[in-house]
Amino acid sequence: MKTTRLAQLASLAVVGSMALAACGSDNTTGSTSAEGSSSSASASESAATECFSGTLNAEGSSAQKNAIEEAIASYGEACKDAKLNYNPTGSGAGIKQFIAGQVDFAGSDSALKTEGKDGAQSEAVAAEAFCGSPAWNLPMVTGPIAIAFNVKGVDKLTITPAVAADIFSGKITTWNDAKIAEINKGVTLPATAIKVFFRSDESGTTENFTKYLKAAAPEGWTADASKKWTGAGEGKEKSAGVAEGVKSTDGGVTYVEWSYAKDNKLGIASVDNGAGAVELTGESVGKAVAVAEQAGTGNDLALKLDYATKEAGAYPIILVTYEIVCSKNKDAEKGKNIKAFLKHFASTDVQKGLEEIGYAPLPKEVEDKVLTAIDALS
């Protein structure tokens, strides 16, 4: 009897210490990332913010999750009574909840669709019906999509749209293919097989990346842009999955948000749209946003990105995520609160801070337009 109890205690101790050890290793990574975010939060503290007390709920795109959380953290520091929640369930779910009146505003990878799908009412019409006023798309977070690769011995790579289309549709199968070598003179490319990883879930990243391929290399990429991958390769779950796949596979390549490529220390290809190779930086992304046309009217700032842009120094593969709001809120108090928070989010300080976590700040001219639109909210 005594021995049994002792053994039970011993086994408990073993299990307990294993659990503790697991926690320990978790903590180290957790604390470093926490430090990183807190330092950038303090950088944007100085903004003069209008405060409110109460709760705002938002839901939608997971692509802007880190950015909006950063903005919420810095807003919360300035305004202790304000409580904001963002639920990153995906753009589709966010818009649905917004139209159903479950959340105060939605985050989305694409502007409200003006055409209905499968005979259903279009998103824009449904949102307007719910709001009783037009719903506006406000570009807020720019997330560049990196072409991330892991090829032993290669840390600099340039890719043209045509080559990208061939790689991601499976027409080029090895890294030392003549087409890749031609635009990467001076780089020794191994004969490793190219392993393409794609997002197995439906994703705004896939949609924007295929939009880019379709626009910039229409001969190489014939499939229509869609949230579901139509090219070659093997699918992995979410951004974390594809980044992990590339990281653990020699010869792997994928398209993924900048932050994931940076965090996993993957190689990031420069893109040559015809005006020379452009490296992925906050500035080069801002340039591409600045040359985008406005698709919406007035204060509806839905953008029409020019993926095939030949603007020198503009990185063309970008994803602009929007905050979708009612231009006139039924609840005036809510409207004021939304306005206060978005103003903070669009402020130069907060936008600058986003670059550290893998987003690009809005260029000045777009930021001004967004702030004007926010001022017109009620």
Partner 1 sequence: MSTSITGHSAIDDLPDPEGHGPHEGDRASTSRWGDRLFGGAAKASGLFVVLLVTLVGLFLIVQAVPSLLNNEANFLTSTEWVPSGAEPRFGIAALLWATVITSVIAMLIAVPLGVAVALFITEYAPSWLSKPAAVIIDLLAAVPSIVFGFWGLTIAGQYFQPVQDFLAGTFGFIPFFKDSGFSAKSTLAFAGIILAFMILPIITAISREVFNQVPTPHKEGALALGATKWEMIRTAVLPFGKPGVISGAMLGLGRALGETLAVMILLSTLNPSAPWSFSIFNGGETFASKIALNAGEFDSPQKTGAYIAAGLVLFILTFIVNSIARVVINRRKAFSE
Contact residues for partner 1 (CB under 8 A)?
A: 3-4, 7-8, 10-11, 15, 62, 89-93, 95-96, 117-118, 120, 193, 195, 198, 200-203, 227-237, 241, 244-245, 248-249
CB of residue 9 to partner 1, shortest distance in Å: 9
CB atoms within 10 A of CB 128: 17
Q: Is 101 annotated among the ligand-binding residues?
A: no
Closest CB to partner 1 among 90 and 316? 90
Which H or E run includes 199? strand 195-199
Is 47 exposed, middle or buried, given 0-12, 13-18 or 19+ CB atoms closer than 10 A? middle
In this structure, the strands spanning 54-60 and 82-87 are: parallel
Buried b (16+ CB within 10 A) or exposed e, 67-102: bbbbbbbbbeebbeebebebbbbbbbbbbbbbbeee
Closest CB to partner 1 among 203 and 270? 203
Separation CA 95–CA 59 (nearest Å): 8
CB of residue 339 to partner 1, shortest distance in Å: 28
Q: Is 41 annotated among the ligand-binding residues?
A: no
CB of residue 229 to partner 1, shortest distance in Å: 6
CB atoms within 10 A of CB 160: 20
DSSP H helices in the chain: 2-43, 65-78, 91-99, 123-131, 161-168, 178-183, 204-216, 238-247, 258-263, 282-290, 332-346, 348-353, 364-376
Q: Is 11 annotated among the ligand-binding residues?
A: no
CB of residue 174 to partner 1, shortest distance in Å: 13
Closest CB to partner 1 among 154 and 194? 194
CB of residue 360 to partner 1, shortest distance in Å: 24
Closest CB to partner 1 among 166 and 355? 166
**What one-letter code names the amino acid at 250?**
D
CB of residue 5 to partner 1, shortest distance in Å: 9
Closest CB to partner 1 among 236 and 343? 236
Q: Are 323 and 311 in contact (CB under 8 A)?
A: no
Q: Is 210 annotated among the ligand-binding residues?
A: no
Q: Are 359 and 284 in contact (CB under 8 A)?
A: no
Closest CB to partner 1 among 133 and 230? 230
The backbone region for 202, taken as left when phi is positive above 0, alpha when psi lies in -120 to 50, beta otherwise, is: beta
CB of residue 120 to partner 1, shortest distance in Å: 5
Closest CB to partner 1 among 91 and 327? 91
Q: Is 10 annotated among the ligand-binding residues?
A: no
Q: Is 62 annotated among the ligand-binding residues?
A: yes
Q: Is 73 annotated among the ligand-binding residues?
A: no
Q: Are 282 and 360 in contact (CB under 8 A)?
A: yes
Handedness of CA 307, 309, 315, 321 (dihedral sign): negative
Task: List, as residue ranges, the binding site for phosphate.
Answer: 61-63, 91, 109, 203-205
Task: List, as residue ranges, the binding site.
Answer: 61-63, 91, 109, 203-205
